[in-house]
Amino acid sequence: MKSMAWGVLFPNYPYAIGPFRFNLPKSEREFRQYLRKWLKVPRLSRGTQVWPER
């Protein structure tokens, strides 16, 4: 599924972050890749939840 806005909840963090808005639709895989670059980490923490926003 592709969406132009995504939300994220990191493990052990009390609040969700988002929506992250984009000009073009991104798949979940593309959004997770964007998060890794944004956070400058090679891998997201286990339990990181992402979902499309409307």
How high is the pLDDT of residue 17? 94
Identify the CA nearest to 1 among candidates 44, 35, 52: 52
Global confidence as pTM: 0.90
What are the residues facing 49 on neighbouring strands?
9
SS3 41: coil
Hey, where are the domains in the chain?
2-53
**SS3 assignment for 3-37:** EEEEEEECCCCCCCEEEEEEEEEEEHHHHHHHHHH
pLDDT along the chain (54 residues), means of 10: 96 94 97 97 96 91
| pLDDT of 54 | 79
AA letter at 28: E
- What is the SS3 assignment for 37? helix
